[in-house]
Structure 1
Amino acid sequence: MALVAIGLLAAAIVFAGLASAEEGRVVLRTEAGWGGKIREGSLFPLKVIVSNPGGRDVSGDVVVRVAAGDGLGGSGDVAYVRRLDLPAGGAKTVWFALPGQPYTDRNHAVEFYAGGYPQGKPIASEPAVKAQLLSANAAVVGVMARDPDAMAFLSLLNAKGYDVHVVRLDAAADRDFPWEPELLDMLDAVVLNAVPTDTLPANAAERLERWVAGSGKLFLAGGTSYPKTVAALEALSPVAYRGTTQLESLESLAAAAGEPNPPAGPLTVSVAELRSGAEPWAVQSGVPVAVRRPLGFGEVWYLAYDLSGEPLASWSGHAGLWAAMLGDSLKAENHSTKAAGLVRPQSVYELENELDFFPGLKALPLGVLSLLFLVYATAVTWGVYFLLKRRGRREWAWWVVPAVAVVSSTAMFAVGAAERRTAIAQTLEVTVLSGDGYAVRTAGVSVAVPGGGDYTLEWPEVRFATIFAVRGNAGELAGKPGAAIERVGDGTHATFFDAPFWSVGKAFAPFERLSGVGALGYDVRYDGGALEGVLRNDTGSKLTDVYVVSGPDWARVGDLEPGESGSFRLAVSRWGGRIPNDVPWRIPLASPSPGASPSATDSVPADASSEHRRSLLTTFVNATELPGARLNAVYAFGWRERTRSDLKLNGKPVRARTTELVVQELRYPFVRDGRIVVPKGIVAPKVVSPAKAPYLPDLPGYRLDEGALMLEYALPRRADAEYRSVRLTFERDPSAQRPVQWSVWNEADWRWEPVAEQSAEWEADRPARYLIGGSLLRVRAAGPEGATIRAPDVTAEGVIAP
């Protein structure tokens, strides 16, 4: 009987264990990227579907662990964490935004920790990112359309040297998709065509707006179904729908694409009225067919036709039309800097290093320390000796001297470490304003904790953050926690584990999209030799040390209170140009560098760190130095320094100081009083072929590594603009044994026209014959291989139709 009882008891224990295991079982399923693709250097979405087939509720954390390499000193992994409560038999979806980099089975894992991370137990795990890694210069277009193959024609562009990938946004159609800009970061364009958007979440329009403002392009189309496309996005639409009509000719689209053969009509299109800020891009028979509206660093487009409808769907020029509309999304050599001066992770080396230094904690100079040590040594030895001698107690010296030394040292340590007994934090930020109320901010935060151990930094208003170490191929998982990043509401909690005494923990927010931040108002004029104007501070807060920078030249505006204006003037040889990377070290800032003007220090806080400022400015300059950055930009920048009280350490406020660089590009106002004027040197060319032509910033110009070079000048494009004068100015090298032969493309005759060999200037007799799509001028240089050339400058004038 005893044996039977023992057997029954053992069986009961086994079955109870199996039942318990079944009740606590969690199943994970993942989908990475868009269309199974992710892009290097951009954030991508990771969808994690967590199901609980057991018979009891489960609570815990969904965790994506990524190897941090040596960025945390090899001390652990970086974990992205989401808290989740799963009812019995239920399933939930969690979305993560992760950095685009190589992922292997050994450098990351997705897990569910019952009871929380890292103290809980992982009860489900799998390698997650199974996707194709695209290069950083690939263009990715996301599509939601009634016809899943509506944008398949874009693949034709790859035969012309582009790298274009069309991905379907099937997951975005789900009601649980949050439409956060970080999840759309790898997309250059989003196309919505004849799909109902009234099923999208209520906040989709606001979040899609922030994505566009951060340098995205949104295309809204559908023809007769356009009202369905904009049902939930009416506030973003550049036009107001007014019905439909039929067009017999589509010559305007062919002209915009530079195609000689327009699609055969007829075509039913939507009729719309332009809203404020919208610009007609293509107009046929008085009907706007393509309209664009700038929004932040991006654009919203309206297309009057259904992308999958004939005759455009099978038109041979359709891909060329979209190449013109996508523009820089296709032509930038490196996606990371498509918008002017946006700061991406590739350029934050200076920012990362500067976060190690806290301006409030300054060591005494070596000379002062030496003097204090001499005074201390004299007082402890001879001072104590004479005191004891006077009292006749010289025999006490053997214990009094050490005692005085210990007490003095303790006192000096207490005084010297007074600032270091409490945790301190700081944030360094680069905020790039778009000029219409939007901005993109790159920020780093560091916290110094005297006690070490585990601690959590609460960073509000930062929707995505990571640890500086997470970039590139980070090696293999260490198997122990190093840091955890958790999204909590609209903020981020960064937890550092097992930190040593007096260590510095750092987190990084690479691309925060902001709205309602104001702008720098300005009025600029350029006559070919001087750049002058007025700058107005409409950011809502004081800016100190405001400058205007054009290439290697700068002019100081001074401090600007909110609403205050200041004038500037600087002599320049040309508009803009790349900012040399030594400018941050030559320009006078808070603490003048050698040779700088002391007047630069007025109204700067006494404890301002010029090193912080120079590092932030260097971070921005490095971004404009990356391939694909704008070659001819003029920038204004200033500083904001403040003490912030919203950072928390382990739930308690921590004193923190913020140093912020505020930057905005000053764009030349081409349209004034019904005229369009393009002064010499403002429009910089873009290389059409060869794709990797070496740029020589000192000229500025290019090297003919393949014996030929084709350039394009994109004049301001408006359907209501008529150019009446277009001129090219050349700088010839009279010493060249074989001069470079320049040619200009004649769009009307479909041929190259040579420019007279020694001519310093070329002017179009009838500009419309040479401008592709009414605004694009193409030139070609041919010469000996390895020759260096300076790109010609273009000048143009025209009128705007009333």
Structure 2
Amino acid sequence: MSLCTRSLRGLSLWVMALLVLAASLFTGSGTANADAPKIQIQTELGYKGKLKEGKWNPLKITLTSDQDIAGDIVVQIQSYQGMGIESSYVQYVELPKDTPKEVVIGIPGGYLNKDNNQILFYEKSYTEGQPIPFDLGRNYLQSSQYSGALIAVLSDDPDTMNFMNALNGRGNSLNTVPLKAEELPDQAQLLNGLDVLVINNFASDTLSAAQQEAIAHWVSEGGTLVLSGGAGYVKSAAPFADIAPVQWTGTTTVQSLPELEKLGGKPLSLQESYTISTATPVEGAESQLEGNGNPLIVSKSQGMGQVMYAAYDLALEPVASWGGHADAWASILRGALPLVNPGGMGYYQPMLESLGYVTEYFPSLKMPSFQLLLWMLIGYAVIVGPLLYFILKKVDKREWAWLLIPALAVVASGTVYTVGSSDRTEEMAHTINVIEMDGEGSALKSSVSAFFSPRSGNYTLEFPKNTYLRAGGSSNSFGGSRLGDNNTYIRAAENETLLEFRNMPQWSLGKVYMQGQGYNEAGKLTSDIRLDAAGQIVGQVTNETKSDLENVVLVMGGKAYRMGDIKQGESAEVPQDKAQILTTNHQNLSNLLYPYTNNDVYNREREVLSMYSYSPTNIDKTSTYIFGWSKDHLTNYTRAGKEVSSDQLNFWVQPIQMGWALNEGEITIPYGFLTPEVTQVNSPIFGTYVHGVELGQGTMIMEFPLLPGDDVKYSEISIKGTRVPGVATMELWNASSGEWEPMTQQNSVHVIADNPEQYIVNNKIRIMISTSDHVNFMMPELSLKGESQHD
């Protein structure tokens, strides 16, 4: 046998040996996989599959293992909104053998598919080892984003509120979601995706204490709770007596409900006695609708939200299927149900995410002085040039230049680096806080913060318990990231919420978006604002917050009043100096107040105010409000127990109610003080903006609320802005005749001087705009004249 043959055979044996070894490794792996736990997964997303866009939603995950095992379940969500927001939500779970285990994780709403999210299970921890594949079930979430209205229902009849679905046939986007008690989350932030919760003829005391508390907190943070049931009202409202708008007194029967019929705009025949509950409104509550001497609908503000009482069982016939029922409740719930673009045209970025880039205006991170660096460069050039040459020539050691020039370059580079990084050696943060006060002492605080990493590595940040977080990677990284590259991990621990930024590059920014931070000690802005005989705003505002406020501005009646700085406990008068009053005329208020300049010291304030004003969820709030600024520390988080140094800018904002202190005698309310609310839309294109309304072919119905109370007799109602584009018409609802009447187009002002009361329904004026083409127009304005019967 030749040497070559023996060599080839030897090589072949080595190759075979390697193949056998590789096969054994794979076999060993297969054996290990065979011994590994087999875990099944099921998921239930949002409310009956509806994931509310821009809100927090519950994700229920059910895991079943054929072995005892414990570890981290991780839900990785890649950015689906182009904002660099990438988060992994982590929860530790113990899985007893063959026992289904359910965990609930809060996730933000949006479009989800197999390419932008995945669910992983790590034995022990996500920081150790590889994930264990699921044996059965889908390892990702799939959902389209939903921005319409969600009405959840707790009732013995699951069809309660189904009459509201009739609005969908007219262009609205609305869903009713019947729930069982066990399906209702016990955390207020996970109710965030609901617009309205209706409890009708349901034993609310079967809800857990945590669920009841979550509902109360959700209301105070902006939710609308409806308590109803007629004869069953008491069991619906029992746990919510402290926030209910009425005190129940009993039941009665009626033969008709004319006020409800008038509100719905269609005939309502009861045919026989109909049972309703009787009640007395509590202090601060407003009776919106009455019938036969009894309040039918009563509402009461509760924090940022409201609690409503309905005197009848919403599922009881014949009212439940009455043709005007949906129209009546569209009016009753005006402002509580978001009206979105049914055609899905355009995209509105949630306000908090839109503010992420503002945090990059980092006050503590400053560019090195250009003049200093210039003089350092000139000094280096002089030293390594003529000065060094002259010295070396003098001592006849010019060959030393080969050593000295590189050495001087190293020293100069180190000096420049030291100067340039003098303020980049410590961890620091820049935080924007938006504090939306309810006027009663509490507030809803939302925050976005940029965390600066002075060195590369992993950083774990600690936040208060029940803080809901979204996070984004470093702002200095280049290129797109892939699913699985997510390096931000969020864990809701027992006493805190932890956020880990992994593999942060040096001198980079990690973004974190914070919600669920109830602020019960915010204080409030109290006001005594009224119209004088000339129709001018007069009065004062008192700062009862916890901070000294700067650059306070009152926005009311189409104008912005600069009120200056107001320290804690002090007051300021509404200015009468025209130099301090800006007429907005539907312009961008932020640009009027903080125009661009070379030394742009108000760039952050301008961007924050602009984002707040243009946020679709705030459009209806920004007609009458007051805001100011402070820079004290309101949001603090820690690393290794030590507070992270932070620059903070706080935007304080609160709705302001005009004090209609009407004395007996004539009253005049100028244009701009009564703001309409859109209640129904039947169009493929719809949008409300600061500068007006966009409407496609179809109709839009709006309502102007009149002065509160029933002690005003109106002699004249004027509507300005009735001249809309040629393809559109404006009509006024005649509540007495039950018909729409055309409005004056020629002079763009429609005056009602003959029996204005016939056009008033539930203390509101109702207007419809119809168009045969795509149009843009401004909202009409209302002016009132009359006489107050108030003593």
Question: What TM-score results when the alignment is normalised by the length of structure 2?
Answer: 0.83
Where does residue 757 of structure 2 map in the other structure?
768
**Mapping 1:88-167, distance limit 5 Å:** 88=97, 90-125=99-134, 126-127=137-138, 133=144, 135-136=146-147, 138-167=148-177
Residues 774 and 260 from structure 1, CA distance in 2 versus in 1: closer, same or farther, beyond 3 angstroms? Answer: farther
The 2-side partners of 1:798 and 1:203 are apart by 50
Aligned residue in 2 for 1:4: none
| CA deviation profile, 1:121-169 (whole Å, cap 9, x unmatched) | 4235443676763642x22110010111222222222233322211112
Q: 1:600-639 to 2 correspondence within 5 Å?
A: 610-623=602-615, 626=616, 629-630=619-620, 633-639=623-629
Q: Which residue of 1 aligns with 2:20?
A: none
In the alignment, residue 216 of structure 2 is paired with which amino acid?
Answer: E
Structure 2 unaligned runs (5+)? 1-26
Cα distance in 2 for residues equivalent to 1:105 and 1:738: 48
CA distance in 2, matches of 1:157, 1:674: 42
Give the superposition deviation at 1:310.
3.3
CA contact (8 A) 1:223 1:304 kept: yes
Counterpart in the other structure of 1:9: none
**Is the contact between residue 456 and residue 493 of structure 1 (CA under 8 Å) also seen in structure 2?**
yes
CA displacement 1:82-134 (0-9 Å, x = unmatched): 12234455443221222222222332222322111142442354436767636
Distance 1:257 1:565, change over 3 A: same
Change in CA separation of 1:20 and 1:80 when aligned onto 2, cut-off 3 Å: same
Instruction: Determine which of 494, 499, 503 is the counterpart of 2:499.
Output: 494
Partner of 2:441: 437
| Residue in 1 that maps onto 2:268 | 261
Partner amino acid for 1:328? G
Assess if the C-alpha contact under 8 Å between 2:194 and 2:223 holds in 1: yes
CA RMSD of aligned residues (A): 4.2
1-side partners of 2:203 and 2:248: how far apart?
Answer: 15
Counterpart residue number, 2:673: 682
User: Contact 2:464 / 2:496 at 8 angstroms: preserved in 1?
Assistant: yes
Partner of 2:422: 418
The one-letter code sitting in structure 2 at the alignment partner of 1:492 is T
Contact 1:312 1:318 in 2 (8 A): yes
**Are residues 548 and 151 of structure 1, via their aligned partners in 2, closer, same or farther at CA, if it must alter by over 3 Å?**
closer
* 1:528-569: CA deviation from partner (whole Å, max 9, x where unpaired): 874443121111221122223458853332222211111222
Aligned residues of 1:531 and 1:572 also touching (Cα < 8 A): no
Q: Aligned to 2:735, which of 747, 763, 766?
A: 747
Q: Please state if 1:39 is matched with 2:52.
A: yes
Distance change in 2, residues 1:715/1:85 (3 Å): same
Greater alpha carbon shift after TM alignment, 140-149 vs 20-29: 20-29
CA contact (8 A) 1:484 1:494 kept: yes
Other-structure match for 1:373? 377
1:664 aligns with 2:679: no
**2:547 is the counterpart of 1:541:** yes
Is 1:727 aligned to residue 736 of structure 2? no
In the other structure, the counterpart of 2:92 is: 83
Code of the residue aligned with 1:38 in structure 2: it is: L
How far is the alpha carbon of 1:702 from its aligned partner?
6.4
Q: CA shift at 1:222, angstroms?
A: 1.8
Gaps of 5+ in 1: 1-13, 336-342, 597-608
Q: Which whole-Å CA distance do the structure 2 matches of 1:766 and 1:574 have between them?
A: 37
Task: Supply the distance in 2 between the matched residues of 1:400 and 1:639 (Cα, whole angstroms).
Answer: 55
| Matched residue, 2:252 | 245
8 Å Cα contact 1:458-1:649 kept in structure 2: yes
1:235-258, CA deviations, whole angstroms, 9 ceiling, x for partnerless residues? 221112222222333223223333
Which piece of structure 1 moves more, 295-304 or 313-322?
313-322
Alignment match, 2:780: 791
Give the aligned residue type for 1:109.
Q
1:562 aligns with 2:544: no
Query: Residues 465-544 of structure 1: matches in 2 within 5 Å?
Result: 465-468=469-472, 478-489=483-494, 491-509=496-514, 514-526=519-531, 530-544=536-550
- Does the CA contact (< 8 Å) of 1:282 and 1:288 recur in 2? yes
Moved more, 499-508 or 64-73: 64-73
Percent identical: 28
> 1: CA distance between counterparts of 2:266 and 2:789?
24
Cα displacement string for residues 607-631 of structure 1 (whole angstroms, at most 9, x for unaligned residues): xx633333322322332xx488228
Report the Cα offset of residue 365 of structure 1. Answer: 3.9
SS in 1 for 2:568: coil
Distance in 2 (CA, whole Å) between partners of 1:616 and 1:491 is: 28
Q: Does 1:173 align with 2:165?
A: no
Matched position secondary structure for 2:206:
coil
Determine the structure 2 residue equivalent to 1:60.
71
Q: Whole-Å Cα distance in 2 between the matches of residues 719 and 555 of structure 1?
A: 28
In 2: Cα distance, 1:163 partner to 1:518 partner = 36
Deviates more, 1:452-461 or 1:385-394: 385-394
Instruction: Decide whether aligned partners of structure 1 residues 116 and 442 sit closer, same or farther in structure 2, where only a CA change above 3 A counts.
Output: same
Whole-Å Cα distance in 1 between the matches of residues 580 and 604 of structure 2? 31
| Equivalent-residue separation in structure 1 for 2:341 and 2:652 (angstroms) | 24
- Cα gap change, 1:677 to 1:437, in 2 (>3 Å): farther
- For 1:27, the equivalent position in structure 2 comes to 40
Q: How many residues align?
A: 750
How has the CA–CA distance of structure 1 residues 721 and 40 changed in structure 2, closer, same or farther, with 3 Å as cutoff?
A: farther
* CA–CA separation in structure 1 for the residues paired with 2:711 and 2:523: 30
Alpha carbons of 1:509 and 1:634: their partners in 2 closer, same or farther (altered >3 Å)? same
Residue type of the partner of 2:609?
Answer: L
* Farther off after superposition, 475-484 or 217-226: 475-484
Contact 1:254/1:263 (8 A) holds in 2 = no
Q: Which residue of 1 aligns with 2:5?
A: none
Whole-angstrom distance in 2 between the partners of 1:109 and 1:783: 46
Q: In the alignment, is the contact (CA less than 8 A) between 1:239 and 1:302 conserved in 2?
A: yes
Quote the residue 1:189 is aligned against: 196
In structure 2, how many angstroms separate the alpha carbons of the residues matched to 1:476 and 1:738?
Answer: 50
Given that 2:151 and 2:196 are in contact with CA atoms closer than 8 Å, whether structure 1 keeps it comes out as yes
Q: Give the match for residue 432 of structure 2.
A: 428
Q: Is the counterpart of residue 198 in structure 1 residue 215 in structure 2?
A: no
1:680–1:360 CA distance, 2 compared to 1 (3 A): same
Answer whether contact 1:334 1:628 (CA < 8 A) is retained: no
CA pair 737-281 structure 1, distance change in 2 beyond 3 A? closer
Would the alpha carbon gap of residues 632 and 501 (structure 1) be closer, same or farther in structure 2, given more than 3 Å must change? closer
CA-to-partner distance for each residue in 1:717-736, whole Å, 9 max, x for gaps? Answer: 86745543341144688xx9
In the alignment, is residue 454 of structure 1 matched against residue 461 of structure 2? no
Q: Deviation at 1:321?
A: 2.2
- Residue 671 of structure 2 aligns to a residue whose secondary structure is coil
Q: CA deviation at 1:434?
A: 2.7
Amino acid at match of 1:280: S
User: Does the C-alpha gap of structure 1 residues 450 and 799 become closer, same or farther in structure 2, counting only changes over 3 Å?
Assistant: same
Instruction: Write the distance in 1 (CA, Å) between the matches of 2:86 and 2:408.
Output: 48
Contact 2:368–2:420 (8 Å) recurs in 1: no
Superposition deviation, residue 47 in structure 1: 0.8
Instruction: Tell me the secondary structure at the aligned position of residue 230 of structure 1.
Output: helix
Q: Give 1:66's aligned amino acid.
A: I
